Chain A
Amino acid sequence: MYNFQGYHEATTLAEALALLAANPRLTVIAGGTDVLIKLRHGVIEGAELLSIRHIKSLEGVQKLEDGTIAIGPLTTFSRVAEDPVIKDHIPVLAEAALTIGGPQIRNVATIGGNLCNGATSADSAPTLFALGARLKLKNNTGERVTPIQDFYLGPGKVALKPGELLTQILISPEDYRGYGGHYIKFSQRRAMDIATLGVAVVCKVKEGRILEDVRIGLGVAGPTPRRCPEAEAFAKGKAITSETIATIGKLAVKAAQARTSWRASREYREHLVEELTQRALREAIVKAGGEAIA
């Protein structure tokens, strides 16, 4: 038996927001693969749960009229990995989804839960950072849209105000059209493990040999997922050569604020940032239509 003190279930967004407004201390639960494990381990105690898993309007993926891809936060990772809109337009996110847990976890774990628990190791985060995702947050009185970078405040801390729920993950057409991407999750096991480091790179290539735009998202390289502004600025307009790619890898380390944990030392993580950024970039270049670099 799980140890929690109360349980509410909302079937519509309005109902959930009303319950949250009345009691902002409710612990929101969606797929439960994170919250229930925290309850099991005693990380959260005496919680009162608000289950939002039956709110149909928060589920599924749509391509809006203006080309924006809108992902419902309750979309499971199995669905993210198989969704035709995601596979057609942002296959790098489908790749990332398949690195999460194992199949039984992916069948219930949701992309919104992955973001809202604020872990720097969230496997969907580096890719959503690289894609410049925006998050729609709603409460009882209104809504706001925030860039994903501003959503992460620290380990386990996100910018949800009391009473707010994540209701949509948005990716604009100018952030995915023409881009190719690749995600690398580095972990001790290829399933059921938390990333030692995660790197997502998306890029746009001009004339097959010039980097028009490069975006790098890192997970576990600091207290929150992050982009690599220096490396990205350097990359713009550069010819695709091994030297360029090596420099981008080196500059990516500047964005890291890695720390030593039992999983890996700071130095090792920095090494991974440098190396995996290069590997992910090489793949992303090919997927963006560029020539492969030996």
Chain B
Amino acid sequence: MLKKISFTVNGLQVALEVDVRESLLEVLRERLGYTGVKKGCEVGECGACTVLIDGTPVDSCIYLAVWADGKDIVTIEGIAKNGELSKVQKAFIEEGAIQCGFCTPGYVLTATAMAAKGKKYTREEIKRELSGHLCRCTGYQNIIKAVEKALAD
């Protein structure tokens, strides 16, 4: 059950043949080498596999790769530009919002999508937007602070 698809990942055009049973997570990690996309729970609960599809955060573990045909995908590898970390990434470092790092790519991508909306978020709204991610290390406070900081100006 192979199907030819093409999409962009971090601005690069990709064309490949996928098995229709493959998840986007599997194709990104195992076929294309984007290992910044983390494989966590595989049932859409932990958010570690989050990528942006046409600018929207989606769990790539419960998204079939064939559905990505024609879409624009951004992974954590596409966030820093020319070796320069993004504002969200810098804020995560400055606020110490990172420990083991497994959840971080997903958080950074969701926060990047929030920043792109250009709207103001209350702390409650930030919590709600981040609620699809689990972090077992930092206890969320530093993550929330980092996102607040990144969205502040």
Seen from chain A, the residues whose Cβ lies within 8 Å of a Cβ on chain B are 1-4, 6-7, 9, 32-33, 36-37, 40-41, 51, 53, 78, 98, 101-105, 107-108, 190-192
Q: A7-B20, A41-B43, A192-B45 are in contact. Are A104 and B128 (CB under 8 A)?
A: no
In the complex, the answer to whether A33 meets B129 with C-beta atoms within 8 Å is: no
Q: Number of contacting residues on B, CB 8 A?
A: 28
Contacts of A101 in B (CB 8 A): 44, 132
Q: Tell whether, in the assembled complex, residue A192 and residue B131 are in contact, meaning their CB atoms are under 8 Å apart.
A: yes
Chain B residues in 8 Å Cβ range of A40: 42-43, 62
Chosen A-B contacts, 23 in total, with CB atoms closer than 8 Å, are A1-B19, A2-B22, A2-B64, A3-B21, A4-B21, A7-B21, A32-B62, A32-B64, A33-B44, A36-B23, A40-B43, A102-B133, A103-B129, A103-B131, A103-B132, A104-B47, A104-B57, A104-B58, A107-B56, A107-B57, A108-B63, A191-B128, A191-B131
B positions within 8 Å CB-CB of A:
1, 19-23, 26, 42-45, 47, 50, 56-59, 62-64, 66-67, 110, 128-129, 131-133
Chain A residue numbers with a CB within 8 Å of B42 are 40
CA distance A9 to B5 in the complex (A): 14
* Nearest-CB residue, chain A, relative to B50: A104
User: How many whole Å from A110's CB to the nearest CB in chain B?
Assistant: 13
Report whether A36 and B62 are in contact in the complex, using a CB–CB cutoff of 8 Å. Answer: yes
Contacts of B22 in A (CB 8 A): 1-2
Query: A192 contacts B64, CB within 8 Å?
Result: no
Which A residues are CB-close (under 8 A) to B47?
A: 102, 104
The answer to whether B62 and A33 touch across the interface, beta carbons within 8 angstroms, is yes
| A2, B61: Cα distance in complex, Å | 10
Q: Which residues of A contact B128 (CB under 8 A)?
A: 98, 103, 191
Bound-state Cα–Cα, A101 to B50, Å: 14
Q: Is the CB of A192 within 8 A of B132?
A: yes
Contact of A104 among B21, B23, B44, B64 (CB under 8 A): B44
A235–B147 alpha-carbon span in the complex (Å): 47
Q: Which residues of A contact B23 (CB under 8 A)?
A: 1-2, 36
Alpha-carbon separation in the docked complex, A239 to B80 (Å): 62
Which A residues are CB-close (under 8 A) to B45? 192
* List of 4 A-B pairs having minimum Cβ-Cβ separation, nearest first: A102-B132, A191-B131, A7-B20, A104-B132
Question: Does the CB pair B131–A107 fall under 8 Å?
Answer: no
**Residue among A104, A108, A190 with max Cβ neighbours from chain B (10 Å):** A104
Residues of chain B lying within 8 A (CB to CB) of residue A4: 21
B131 touches A190 (CB 8 A): yes
CA–CA, A4 to B128, complex, Å?
34
Residues of B within 8 A of A51 (CB): 64, 67
4 more A-B residue pairs beyond the given contacts A7-B21, A41-B43, A101-B132, with a C-beta to C-beta distance below 8 A: A2-B23, A7-B1, A78-B56, A104-B132
CA A4 – CA B67 in complex, angstroms? 16
Least CB distance from A265 to B in Å reads 25
Q: What residues of A have a CB within 8 angstroms of the CB of B21 in the complex?
A: 1-4, 7
A37 to B42 alpha-carbon distance, docked (Å): 8
Question: Which of B1, B20, B44, B66 is A105 in contact with, Cβ under 8 Å?
Answer: B44
CB contact under 8 A between A108 and B20, given known A41-B43, A192-B131: no
Nearest residue in A to B134 (C-beta to C-beta)? A192
Asked whether A53 lies within 8 Å of B57 as measured between CB atoms, the reply is: no
A102 to B47, CA, bound (A): 9
Cβ of B145 to closest chain A Cβ, rounded Å: 19
Interface pair B132/A105, CB less than 8 Å apart: yes
